[in-house]
Amino acid sequence: MRGFAGIFSILPLCFPALMSPRFLLLSPAAFRALTVWREAWAAPGEALFATIRFRGS
């Protein structure tokens, strides 16, 4: 699980302009797209974590 957290903590560093509050405030559509993008990336990680936890029990 720590590996996934590391990946997600690095993502904002890759896109400083996209992550800046000013950009997000100026563009609600960009904020919505970014939220959907983050959720799309988080879903496989959550599924994998659930599978590992299920096998371990």
Q: What is the full per-residue pLDDT of the chain (57 aa) written as tens digits?
A: 455 555 555 555 555 555 566 655 666 776 677 777 777 766 666 666 667 667 765
Contact 35, 27 (CB under 8 A): no
pLDDT of residue 32: 75
Say what the pTM is.
0.29
Domain positions in the chain: 2-56
pLDDT of residue 5: 57
